[in-house]
Amino acid sequence: MEGIEVKNYSNYEEYLKHQKSKADYGTPLRQRLLGELWESDCEGFRLNFAPYKEILSKCKNALCLGARVGQEVFVLKEMGIEDSLGIDLTATPPLVIEGDVHDLKFENESYDFIFSNIFDHVLYPEKFISEIERVLKPGGHCLLHLSVMDTQDTHSANILHGSHHVVSLFKNNIDVVEDNLLGQPNWPHYWTLMIKKLA
């Protein structure tokens, strides 16, 4: 796939097992996310979402893909979107339910806002984006934080060479609202891509 180097797994089960192992029950990362990292990560998401206050104020619901333990869900609820939900391979009730980002168990055009920062962890980028497009309402927004050219994360399933490769995966009529470096010290490799799905 042009601009996206997808890593090889022997089968899909191996991929799922590898991805789940990063923050599964009992792992050190999971304990840190629920403990010492909880507030600092929440503060990071507050900074990330602050520029979109006006957009978010009009949203009735929100979906976070690859939400781990759910800090981003917690912050969206803080901001007034009470009907916010995360999905991940490991559930963290009540903020995050178990699910696969390649196969969302939600109805077509059911969410006003979708957020994800795990594009580099998806094995099938085209399927991931098509599921976002399917579930996003016309007029809804999708905010993606993209890890670009980061080869350090051993759990990455792909290496992305630029945000324009992600834009090209969208098949519906869209408006690119924002496409620039995130500019946060704790996520130095991340790029901001905000998409609006047009009617």
Name residue, tokens 């399933």.
Answer: 157
Tell me the pLDDT tens digit for each residue of 88-136. 999 999 999 999 999 999 999 999 999 999 999 999 999 999 999 999 9
Q: From residue 128, give the alpha-carbon distance in Å to each of 27, 40, 100, 147.
A: 26, 28, 10, 15
Tell me the pLDDT tens digit for each residue of 39-93. 999 999 999 999 999 999 999 999 999 999 999 999 999 999 999 999 999 999 9
Q: How far apart are CA 41 and CA 34, in angstroms?
A: 10
Say how many residues make up the chain: 199
Asked if the model's pLDDT at residue 199 lies above 90, the reply is no
Domains of the chain and any CATH numbers: 4-197 (3.40.50.150)
Tell me the pLDDT tens digit for each residue of 153-198. 899 999 999 999 999 999 989 999 999 999 877 777 789 999 999 9
Name residue, tokens 């042009």.
Answer: 2
Name residue, tokens 């759990």.
Answer: 155
pLDDT for 2: 83
pLDDT for 8: 94
Asked if the model's pLDDT at residue 1 lies above 90, the reply is no
pLDDT for 193: 98
pLDDT for 185: 75
Asked if the model's pLDDT at residue 14 lies above 80, the reply is yes
Beta-strand relationship, 174-181 and 190-197:
antiparallel
What b/e string do you get for 140-166 counting C-beta neighbours within 10 Å, with b at 16 or more?
bbbbbbbbbeeeeeeebbbbbeebebb
Tell me the pLDDT tens digit for each residue of 141-164. 999 999 998 888 899 999 999 999
User: Taking CA 31 as the corner, what is the angle to CA 29 and CA 32, rounded to the nearest 5 degrees?
Assistant: 65
pLDDT for 184: 79
